[in-house]
Structure 1
Amino acid sequence: MSKTIVLTGGGSAGHVTPHLALIPQLQKEGYSVAYIGSKDGIEKDMMAEQQIDYTGVSTGKLRRYKDLNNLKDPFRVLKGITEARKALKKLKPSLVFSKGGFVSVPVVIAAKTLGIPCVLHESDRSPGLANKIVLRFCEKICVTFPETASLLPEGKAIHTGAIVRPDLFKGNAAKGRTLCDFSSSKPVLLVMGGSMGAQKINDTIRTELDVLLSTFHVIHICGKGKIDPNVQQYGYKAFDYVSSELSDLLACTDVVVSRAGSNAINEFLALRIPMLLVPLSPRVSRGDQVENAASFEKQGFASVVQEEELNSDTLHAQINELYTKREDIQERMKSADAYTDGTQVVAIFKDIISRKEK
């Protein structure tokens, strides 16, 4: 009978996509994989596409602001712990692996009460609120950024890097250019602002488009519903969202302008694409993207411009400088052991499971 590993995490695609990279690796090693997530979160649909056994549980949202729902959330979490315990007793996993997000809290706590070892993966430079709550219940904490280890309990952190989807390495640059109707005469600039898009980045790119097109072909992933139908020029291709085409578009990309979500920037790192990062402002977030961007800038993988400072002049100057220095940046990327295909994470699982069985 094969051993089972339960995956958990949700609330955003960033808490789920690393699992997609890890699932084939676990199955190849002979593990059965199941998922415990929220009852109606994005993770449910993503796991359905992978035909992974899925259980939904109740959870709170862990808001940082005042809201009447904050009074109800502790009861939702308690209900979620009960539901997760029931699911874990049925699945009898050897280990639970959490990628964070609010749904992971009841699952990790339930696993701890049942004596099931847990491993946590922290994608960002500093732990998010959900991970701060559950890290005490985890045997090991895999970190993406080397600096993160100093923020965690001594002896728990292991720098494994990111878990990058292997299909991203299979892109075809010629197919990517054909998809956009681009020639091979100019380098390609990719602009993306996350799954929801980034209005300030979108507006600035469109304002500066004529100047950019004198040097680059431009792929612009705008976010759902955010394509401007009035902006149509040769050398400019807009998408609201891409899925299966992403690997081909990345394969033909020379430089990228992006938000600084951990998964995305580590994918660019793995593919050796120099990046200009415009992190989400701390005014509308906990500041994790600012920290992620600062780490990549310090390591020489990226240039950074804060959203408040983004305008046509800074955008054009930064992109040109980035393209000029691209070969030096790519050399630093080649020498960096900052990403993984999940092999090291699976090795941690094996070690913990074998020690438990002794």
Structure 2
Amino acid sequence: MKKLKIIMTGGGSAGHVTPNLALIPKLKELGYDIQYIGTENGIERKIIEDEKIRYHIISSGKLRRYFDIKNFTDPFKVIKGVFEAKNIIKREKPNIVFSKGGFVSVPVVIGAYLNRVPVIAHESDMTPGLANKIAAPFCTKVCVTFPESINKIKNNKGVLTGTPIRNKLFDGSKIRGRQICGFEDKKPILLVIGGSLGSKVINDAIREELDDLLVKFNIIHICGKGNLEGKLKNKKGYMQFEYVKEDLPHLMAATDIFVSRAGANVIFELLALRKPNLLIPLSAKASRGDQILNAASFEKSGYSMVIQEEEINSKLLIKKLDELYNEKEKYKKNMSSSSISNGVEEIIKLIKKYTR
């Protein structure tokens, strides 16, 4: 029997790639030949090639909601990418395409549609991103993470699945996590993460109050590429990383409370792991406001404490972290009662259902 083939896509940030990684083990188990379409220099390329998955390169321009001179040239890159994706899909003959969004996904989804190949897309945030808005008419179904999102997907294409979470995140060792960081005392651990590219606002806020925070916590700081602070390299109780991949499950297992941005992928991972967290969503000045909505939903459900980026100051940060740690059992209890589950199984059901 001919082997089933799936082409996956998504890129521009790690948030548009890591959910694909959560699906890959199950797809392999089901016997799918997995390939990927992305850009030449996108963050998705290294992540996917590290998984030993065949990677196809296309052109793609960035889609912007604001004025930029590249808005006049990038549409031509998108059009070029459509023809490149169309040709790849025609040659490879996949049975289905799965799109995680990001600007690279638009040419791929349209290319699949032109080849009459079914497309399942996934939207992590409460409101669809621009790429998924453009791609949705060419999709068979669009998976959503928040119940509030169903009505934002037209033509009855929306399906509530939750977000796919990597199983390896549940395999972390608390002991190994402490060993990796060299933490020898029993102080609770605070893990700070500002997204795949880091966050200057969060990095600066934590480092400004580092001495006071270290009185109570050991701190793991995942600060983003190029954001290591050399002067703090040997600071006792403080361990900084640009990016963590293989050891992340151990670090998360060892952590008592988190400070994080409010991207959908990371907050649903924290929910699945029942980890109390303080969310600092990306400001509406620097985004379309999706993280603010994500954080508000989690705060309303009792899963997270929230500080808006514009409100951050040293006294408030320390006060909120003390509150979060003292009330951590309340947050764990709220998260334990959540009906939201790992989205892997529901998305796999859809992929199987619509595989041509």
TM-aligned CA distance change 1:239 to 1:75, over 3 Å: closer
1:298 to 300, 304, 328: 300
Correspondence for 1:50: 51
Correspondence for 1:333: 335
Task: Determine helix, strand or coil for the equivalent of 1:225.
Answer: coil
Correspondence for 1:119: 120
Correspondence for 2:191: 190
Correspondence for 1:38: 39
> How far apart are the structure 2 equivalents of 1:107 and 1:97?
10
Correspondence for 1:128: 129
Please report how far the alpha carbon of residue 282 of structure 1 lies from its aligned counterpart in structure 2 after TM superposition.
1.1
Q: TM (normalized to structure 1)?
A: 0.95
Please report how far the alpha carbon of residue 213 of structure 1 lies from its aligned counterpart in structure 2 after TM superposition.
2.0
Correspondence for 1:179: 180
Is the 1:259–1:279 contact (alpha carbons within 8 Å) kept by the matching residues of 2? yes
Correspondence for 1:229: 230
Is the 1:260–1:277 contact (alpha carbons within 8 Å) kept by the matching residues of 2? yes
Is the 1:144–1:339 contact (alpha carbons within 8 Å) kept by the matching residues of 2? no
Is the 1:166–1:341 contact (alpha carbons within 8 Å) kept by the matching residues of 2? no
Please report how far the alpha carbon of residue 170 of structure 1 lies from its aligned counterpart in structure 2 after TM superposition.
1.1
Is the 2:162–2:343 contact (alpha carbons within 8 Å) kept by the matching residues of 1? no
Task: Determine helix, strand or coil for the equivalent of 2:259.
Answer: strand
Is the 1:40–1:56 contact (alpha carbons within 8 Å) kept by the matching residues of 2? no
Please report how far the alpha carbon of residue 345 of structure 1 lies from its aligned counterpart in structure 2 after TM superposition.
0.5
Is the 2:82–2:110 contact (alpha carbons within 8 Å) kept by the matching residues of 1? yes
TM-aligned CA distance change 1:135 to 1:341, over 3 Å: closer
> How far apart are the structure 2 equivalents of 1:150 and 1:184?
50
> How far apart are the structure 1 equivalents of 2:24 and 2:102?
19
1:192-212 superposed Cα distances (whole Å, 9 cap, x missing partner)? 112222222222212222222
- The alignment status of 1:321 with 2:319, answered yes or no, reads no
Correspondence for 1:103: 104
Please report how far the alpha carbon of residue 78 of structure 1 lies from its aligned counterpart in structure 2 after TM superposition.
1.7
Q: Which one-letter code corresponds to 1:86 in the other structure?
A: N
Q: Which one-letter code corresponds to 2:80 in the other structure?
A: K
Correspondence for 1:213: 214
Structure 1 gap segments, 5+ residues each: none
Q: Which one-letter code corresponds to 2:250 in the other structure?
A: D
- The alignment status of 1:204 with 2:205, answered yes or no, reads yes
Please report how far the alpha carbon of residue 43 of structure 1 lies from its aligned counterpart in structure 2 after TM superposition.
1.5
Q: Which one-letter code corresponds to 1:56 in the other structure?
A: I
Is the 2:161–2:343 contact (alpha carbons within 8 Å) kept by the matching residues of 1? no
Correspondence for 1:91: 92
Count of residue pairs the alignment pairs up: 354
> How far apart are the structure 1 equivalents of 2:113 and 2:242?
42
2:312 to 310, 313, 322: 310
TM-aligned CA distance change 1:122 to 1:7, over 3 Å: same
Task: Determine helix, strand or coil for the equivalent of 2:347.
Answer: helix
> How far apart are the structure 2 equivalents of 1:107 and 1:131?
12
1:279 to 254, 278, 281: 281
> How far apart are the structure 2 equivalents of 1:103 and 1:339?
28
Task: Determine helix, strand or coil for the equivalent of 1:40.
Answer: coil
Please report how far the alpha carbon of residue 95 of structure 1 lies from its aligned counterpart in structure 2 after TM superposition.
0.9
> How far apart are the structure 2 equivalents of 1:294 and 1:134?
27
> How far apart are the structure 1 equivalents of 2:215 and 2:313?
18
Task: Determine helix, strand or coil for the equivalent of 1:316.
Answer: helix
Is the 1:101–1:131 contact (alpha carbons within 8 Å) kept by the matching residues of 2? yes
Please report how far the alpha carbon of residue 19 of structure 1 lies from its aligned counterpart in structure 2 after TM superposition.
0.8
Task: Determine helix, strand or coil for the equivalent of 2:219.
Answer: strand
Q: TM (normalized to structure 2)?
A: 0.95
Please report how far the alpha carbon of residue 154 of structure 1 lies from its aligned counterpart in structure 2 after TM superposition.
4.8
Q: Kindly, what percent of the aligned residue pairs are identical?
A: 50
Correspondence for 1:77: 78
Correspondence for 2:346: 344
Please report how far the alpha carbon of residue 341 of structure 1 lies from its aligned counterpart in structure 2 after TM superposition.
5.4
1:288-342 superposed Cα distances (whole Å, 9 cap, x missing partner)? 1111111111111101101110111111111111112211211221222324151
Task: Determine helix, strand or coil for the equivalent of 1:176.
Answer: helix
Task: Determine helix, strand or coil for the equivalent of 1:256.
Answer: strand
Please report how far the alpha carbon of residue 184 of structure 1 lies from its aligned counterpart in structure 2 after TM superposition.
5.0
Please report how far the alpha carbon of residue 68 of structure 1 lies from its aligned counterpart in structure 2 after TM superposition.
2.7
2:290 to 251, 263, 288: 288
> How far apart are the structure 1 equivalents of 2:137 and 2:158?
12
